[in-house]
Every structure is written in C-alpha cells, then in structure tokens.
Amino acid sequence: MNTTKIEYVDKSWSPVTGCFGPNGELCPYCFANSIVNRFQGYALDGENTTYNPYDGIAVLETPMYKVSKYGVKTQAPFPFGFEPTLHKYRLNEPSRYKSPKTIFVCTMADLFHEAIPDDWIMQVFDACRIAPWHRYLFLTKNPKRYYDLALAEKLIGGDNIWLGSTITTPEDMFMNTIDPSRNAFISIEPILSDFGRESAALKEGGIKWAVLGAETGSRKGKVIPKKRWVQNIVESCRDAGVPLFMKNNIIPYWDNELITELPWRRIA
C-alpha cells in the first residue's frame, strides 16, 4: 500500500490496476492514466516494454520488474500499462497493517468496470474481510455493478465498507437501489456543469456522504467550475443532511473555509 495525497484517506491500495482493454476508451479527465504512462512497463530481454504475454487480462502471482536507464531494478507497478491486471501478491497488504487505516481501494483502476471479472472483485472483498479493522472506500463510474453484485449476493457490507460513485454532471445522479443500510457516497469530481439544487436526489438516494473536487491538470478543454456551482452543491448537501468534504483544489472556487466533514466521525 502507498501513502496518498488524497485528503480523507491514509493509504491507497491497488490489487487491481487498469480498467480497459486494447480497444477501450479512457475518460478524458482520467488522472490515473497519466500516472500509469509515467511508470508503465517491465523489463523483457534487456528492454522495457508493455507487451502483454497473457491471453487476455493478466493475473500476476508475483511482481514484475523494470530497469532504469542507469541499470537500477525496481518493481513494475503497471507492467502492461492501463490494461486490467490483478496483482495477487498485493491482496494481503491490508492485513500487514495492524492499526486501523482508511484505505482507498484501486485508485489506479475502476474495480467495477465491465472489463473486470467478478472473481477479481471477490478476491479484493475477501482481502477486506481478512482485515476488518480498516475502513475501505471504493469508487466507480459504473454503480450498476454494485447492484448486480448485491443481487448475486457477492457484495459485502458493514460499517467499514463505503461504496462510492463518481458523478460529474447532474445526468449522472443515481438512486441507490442496493440497500439503504449500506454506506453509499458520491464523489463529484471533476465538476463539469452546474448541478443546480439536487437535494431531492440526495435525500432519496440513500447517499451518506459527498466529496467535491475540481478538475486538475492542463487538459485541453478543462472545465473551470463557477463559484455558483459550488454554492449550489453545498446548499443541496445541507438541505439533504448529507456531510460534505471539499478537496483542496476547490479553494479557488469557494470564498469560505473548506468544508471537510467525514461521516464516520458523525457516527462515532
């Protein structure tokens, strides 16, 4: 696991990386892919490559390695670039930390992307079961997968499991039909348009937390949120009684002190 700059978690854990096949498409604002591009590849016959020798998506029992131009050997975090890869040797990492942590699961993938097999997701959940003293945060752009797994009785619950959905426009708002007892949250990042006052969707959707962040980087066409957009989201969360956490990149678009509410602190 890695220490992360994400403000509301302690560690990031990526037993699965990547979320599309050779003909897949990326979200235009995907931060993970830009990181993968910097560190992708592994050493093969003295050269670094991203060639995937597996028949389809890859399962790694042990780490692969790459070699720098100075001959230094290091572990390869993304040997096949952004192609889906299960790093089985990472599954036991949470159990190595005996003090409770808030862990963001699969920051370098969408674990619930259609290209990821159910079996991989089950193996990640099993690792969470083995180390239940941690708090695990999941995030996806495909929340329907939560529902499908719940129907198949493959979705674990508990106070330490938080199931998040990435929301970028009002059209992405969804109703949480999994189970109102589960911890569901939304991450509005990046804010790509004005949400208006969506308090009804927040109230009726079973959402227990909202995270708010702006687009980072220098992408052509990058969306700069208006302060009014941020204000509308703040007021909607207040109306719905949903705790809100603003990431540091909201500072330019908000004239007051950042709101940094954590729902598990309310519960405690």
**CATH number of the domain that residue 13 is part of:** 3.20.20
Domain assignment present for residue 157? The answer is yes
d(CA 109, CA 254): 30
99 lies in which domain range?
2-21+28-33+81-267
pLDDT at 178 over 70: no
Domain assignment present for residue 164? The answer is yes
Domain assignment present for residue 47? The answer is no
Dihedral angle of Cα 220, 12, 9, 32, to the nearest 10 degrees: 10
Angle at 63 between CA 73 and CA 105, to 5 degrees: 120
Domain assignment present for residue 6? The answer is yes
Domain assignment present for residue 72? The answer is no
d(CA 19, CA 82): 7
- Total structural domains in the chain? 1
Domain assignment present for residue 54? The answer is no
Encode pLDDT of 11-69 as tens digits. 999 999 987 644 556 666 666 777 777 888 999 887 889 888 887 789 999 999 988 87
Is the model's pTM score more than 0.75? yes
Domain assignment present for residue 43? The answer is no
d(CA 43, CA 22): 20
d(CA 218, CA 62): 36
Domain assignment present for residue 40? The answer is no
